[in-house]
Amino acid sequence: MIIGPSDLRIPVKARYSKADMRILVGLLTVHCTLKDKLHQMKKSDDRLCSYCGKERERSEHLLMKCKAPILLANRMKHLGSYFFLDKDIRDVPLDKLLRFARDTGIAKKLCYRPIIDVSQE
């Protein structure tokens, strides 16, 4: 999603709290606790989307493609479209992405899920 450092386009340190930055970094990179990443790290057996259950739960899927009603409604409300292409999502202001993540519950999934080692259970 982020091609290089200049893609953030803002002085993020002055504008966002540490918690907000964790949400944005998790949403815009693969450094997060969404199911697909946890599955890659062998911390989860399930990698399917918590909302639709059809595709791998990754930030690209949640931000641009998932057809779950809560995501469709909030995508339209906060981001102005039901679906996005990768090149189009880059133009959405970070404040709107943050509101979308909070209203859909994605923010909690990105930052606050404990990582449990399922191989020891």
The rounded distance, in Å, linking the Cα atoms of 104 and 25 is 17
User: Which three-class secondary structure string do you get for 74-87?
Assistant: HHHHHHCCCCCCHH
List pLDDT tens digits, range 52-100: 999 999 988 999 999 999 999 999 999 988 988 877 888 889 999 999 9
- 9 pLDDT band (50/70/90 cuts)? low
The rounded distance, in Å, linking the Cα atoms of 69 and 11 is 34
3-state secondary structure of 48: strand
Q: Is the pLDDT of residue 42 over 60?
A: yes
Chain position carrying tokens 């953030």 = 8
3-state secondary structure of 90: coil
- 104 pLDDT band (50/70/90 cuts)? very high
73-80 long-range contacts, Cβ below 8 Å, gap at least 24?
74/100, 74/103, 74/104, 75/100, 77/103, 78/103
In the chain, domain spans: 11-114
Phi, psi of 109 (to 5 degrees): -65, -35
Q: Which of 51, 49, 32, 56 is nearest to 115 (CA)?
A: 32
